[in-house]
Amino acid sequence: MLPLRWFRVHVLLTCILVCSNGAIAAESVQFNRDVRPILSENCFACHGADKNNLKGKRRLDSFEGATAERNDIRAIAPGDPANSDLWLRVLSEDDEERMPPRDSHKTLTSVQKETLKRWIAEGANYQTHWAYVAPSRPAPPAVKMGAWPRSDLDRFVLANLEKQMLTPAPEANRTTLIRRLALDLTGLPPTPTQVGAFLADTSSDAYERVVDRLLQSPHYGERMAVDWLDAARYADTNGYQVDRDREIWAWRDWVIQAFNENKRFDQFTVEQLAGDLLPQPTLNQRIATGFNRADLLAIRPDGEGDVTDTHVAWRTTKGAPLTPSVVVAGDELYGVADSGIATCWDAKTGTVHWQERIEGNYSASPIVAEGKIFFLSEDGVGTVVKAAQTFEKIATNKLEERALASYAVADGALFIRTAGHLYRIGRR
Ligand code: HEC
């Protein structure tokens, strides 16, 4: 049963964290567990896969990169820290030499330095990323309190307690147990009735049956989805200064459903990354790709606001008329400010091809159809211009009636909804 496996993985991870927390003195250094986190946090930004940020022409994320000889220098001489530039750099007292550099605001602790040294001394073995290493079942460790473990997993926990000269705490009372279990699996405390039933159930698998019941609860998926949604930055708004609403709850519900349905992890990830590219994708597989859209969105239609340079190819100058929204036609962008100033920009460069005042006040975006741009003002003035880099007015129409925001073009005719009527405006 997969949910159970998820649950176990969770426990196992906690165990691994606890296990790797302690001194690693006796065992040999493992790259993925002990070294990668240090290099990744402190070095890879400048010595990793990102070509644009590579410093000192030195990659440290592979054995080949780290051991390659340049100008008689090797960052790592396996088995020989004293001849490894990396080790000398890490140790150096000289601000010009020391790594990580002062201006990176990163420093290594003495334990981290010692780990790097031991890793080099032991041959500087790299491992592929743990995600690509097939898991293998380790032999459960030997323990002194042989009667305590009820499962192999317990043996791992106990082995580490014993290593740290700790003894397990006595088992909690049953009220506490069911409360912990319910919070862990559903995020909600048990009801008094559920506690009562558990206390009254003296069968040997009473606990397991509570686990099964909780795994069947629709709240199980909600609880499990929390971490995933956090990591994927799920939110109901865009996340920047001008924090507009975003509707992406359909994907949130997809994630919850995926946990409740026990969806396999490979499908869970494939559908979220590229569900729309699967053969004949279902609506749900498309919804799954909401994952890709859950990031921060920094664009404001008026081009101002908290946008970082990396996002901005161009933006309108301060004081330029603000257009509520724009349309794209060919290589051009068209918009109209509420005051009636219509603008045509070059979509790539932001160069203004033309800017003209048209009659009316505008709150709706222009629309593009059949090589023309249609503007409709709040007070019912329709203006049609050629979609082109030069301003050419084709027609103006006055309805003398307030227009509602929505309008459409089809078959050469303009359809306009006003407070009182629906108009079709076409050639005589
Ligand atoms: C903010 C960027 C930055 C970070 C982070 C950084 N380095 Fe560097 N590193 C540089 C630059 C720039 C150079 C080239 C200038 C120099 O040699 O001092 C360099 C050079 C080196 C070199 C010598 C180049 C060679 O030919 O081998 C080594 C070794 C090195 N770094 C190791 C590290 C290690 C280990 C870490 C992490 C503990 C680290 N660096 C973190 C920027 C960085």
The structural domains of the chain, ordered by start, are 2-132 (no CATH), 174-216 (no CATH), 222-293 (no CATH), 314-425 (2.40.128.630)
Rounded to whole angstroms, the maximal C-alpha distance in the chain is 97
Report which ligand 1 atom has the smallest distance to the Cα of 106: 5
**What pTM was computed for the model?**
0.52
84 Cβ closer than 6 Å to some ligand 1 atom: no
For residue 20, what pLDDT is reported? 42
- Among 38-42, 150-154, 175-179, 409-413, which is the least confidently predicted range? 409-413
Report which ligand 1 atom has the smallest distance to the Cα of 86: 29
SS3 content of the chain, % helix, strand, coil (to 5): 40, 15, 45
Report which ligand 1 atom has the smallest distance to the Cα of 45: 5
For residue 43, what pLDDT is reported? 95
At residue 302's C-alpha, the angle toward residues 415 and 383, to 5°, is 30
In the reported structure, the alpha carbon of residue 56 is separated from the centroid of ligand 1 by a whole-number distance in angstroms of 6
Q: What is the mean pLDDT of the chain?
A: 86
How far, in whole angstroms, is CA 235 from its chain's centroid? 11
99 Cβ closer than 6 Å to some ligand 1 atom: yes
In the reported structure, the alpha carbon of residue 146 is separated from the centroid of ligand 1 by a whole-number distance in angstroms of 50
- pLDDT band (50, 70, 90) for residue 240: low
Residue 115 has pLDDT above 80, yes or no: yes
102 Cβ closer than 6 Å to some ligand 1 atom: no
Helices (H), 105-191: 110-121, 152-163, 174-186
DSSP SS3 for 6: helix
- pLDDT band (50, 70, 90) for residue 236: confident
In the reported structure, the alpha carbon of residue 55 is separated from the centroid of ligand 1 by a whole-number distance in angstroms of 6
Q: In the chain, pLDDT over 70 holds for what percent of residues? A: 88
DSSP SS3 for 263: coil
43 Cβ closer than 6 Å to some ligand 1 atom: yes
For residue 243, what pLDDT is reported? 65
Question: If 0-12 CB within 10 Å is exposed, 13-18 middle and 19+ buried, where does residue 35 land?
Answer: buried
Ligand 1 site-directed mutation target among 39, 42, 55, most atoms within 8 Å of CB: 55
